[in-house]
Chain A
Amino acid sequence: MSEHHDNVHEHHHEHHGDELPHADFKSYMIGFILSVILTAIPFWIVMGGVFETSSTTALVILGFAAVQIVVHMIYFLHMNFQSEGGWNMLALIFTAVMVFITLAGSLWVMYHLNVNMMPGLMESVHGQ
């Protein structure tokens, strides 16, 4: 089982309906090396204090995390638009939207809740 030509419409599956993902050494190694690089850089940025402001650092390391998640999806989880007739990707996109709404919505709402809290109440909370 060396190569997998899915785009040529041939019915050459050894076990028809056997939906196991096909992997090869090269893709795992590319994924691993990219992951090591994408992990090492954020740790270096934070531990070495590369950027002056925290917000810049936060944005940059979040960017690296997003890229690394995509790398894992492609090289380790073998995500593509073909597997399971596209249902895998559809479920993933749906989940990504839900995750975004959950995270961004919670942070947005709760941040404004904190900001608009009465100052006197804030002090009494902190004073305890």
Chain B
Amino acid sequence: MVDTTQTQQAQGQPLQFYETEEHHPQTGTMLGFWLYLMSDCLIFASLFATYGVLGRSYAGGPTGAELFDLPLVAMNTALLLLSSITYGFAMLEMQKNRVRGTIGWLLITGLFGVGFLSLELYEFAHLIHVGAGPQTSAFLTSFFALVGTHGLHVFFGIVWLVTLCFQLRKHGLIPENKRRVACLSMFWHFLDVVWIGVFTFVYLMGVLV
């Protein structure tokens, strides 16, 4: 081994160790964050499974077909989808190293997120008002648990987003902030992926008799 490297050096080639050939990311943050998202995915899987099992146990209470307001859900879906593309624009602005553009698109994304949450809270308040609260039946318990957990994720995503905007204003597009914006991007798009499951499995299939 020592002999080989010495011979290579002698032949004028640069000294090379095995490690230099492998690709080592300096920080494992992006991979680590992806693993967190995957574990989050398992939380949602168990909530989806619970809803799948209990979703038709109405206990004499109202059914999904009676309760769900599909135009409202379509509106919610549109808001979340729009927030996904505006976050994409924030990422593009970040790649061009424009702080103001990044913050601007992030704030627009946040507004769509707030709109989504407002509609969801309105829906929840309406359901509880008509006597379809989480205590009414196993169906509604699992519904509020699943949709509520997703909403809670969106809420914390918005908190993170606002914090990040202040960070960007203060420090600009330093590598740490770029990493944070990229992580929140994964989080935000992940929530949109979960919402695809929610509107399909809970709402659209819920109104089928």
Contacts and interface: CB of A to CB of B under 8 A. Distances in A.
A36 B179 CA distance: 29
Given A20-B178, A23-B88, 7 more contacts: A16-B26, A17-B26, A46-B204, A54-B209, A77-B193, A95-B42, A105-B49
Residues of A in contact with B, size category = 35 or more
Given A64-B200, A106-B52, A95 B41 contact: yes
Interface string B16-41: 00000001111101110011001001
Interface in B128-143: none
A17 B48 CA distance: 37
A39 B192 contact: no
12 contacts: A16-B26, A22-B95, A28-B92, A35-B84, A39-B78, A42-B200, A46-B207, A87-B31, A95-B42, A98-B42, A102-B48, A107-B52
Interface residues of B, number: 53
Contacts of B30: 19-21, 84
B48 A103 contact: yes
Contacts of B207: 46
Contacts of B89: 28
A31 B92 CA distance: 15
Interface in A49-74: 54, 57-58, 61-62, 64-65, 68-69, 72-73
A32 to B, nearest CB: 4
Given A46-B204, A77-B190, A99 B45 contact: yes
A46 B175 contact: no
Given A39-B81, A42-B204, A43-B74, A17 B25 contact: yes
A40 B154 CA distance: 22
A24 B92 contact: yes
Given A25-B92, A84-B34, A106-B53, A57 B23 contact: no
B42, B52, B209 — most chain A CB neighbours (10 Å): B52
A27 B54 CA distance: 39
A43, A88, A92, A94 — most chain B CB neighbours (10 Å): A43
A15 B175 contact: yes
A36 to B, nearest CB: 7
Contacts of A19: 25, 27, 29-31
Nearest to A29: B85
Contacts of A76: 84, 88, 189, 192
4 shortest interchain CB distances as A-B pairs: A17-B26, A28-B88, A106-B49, A65-B200
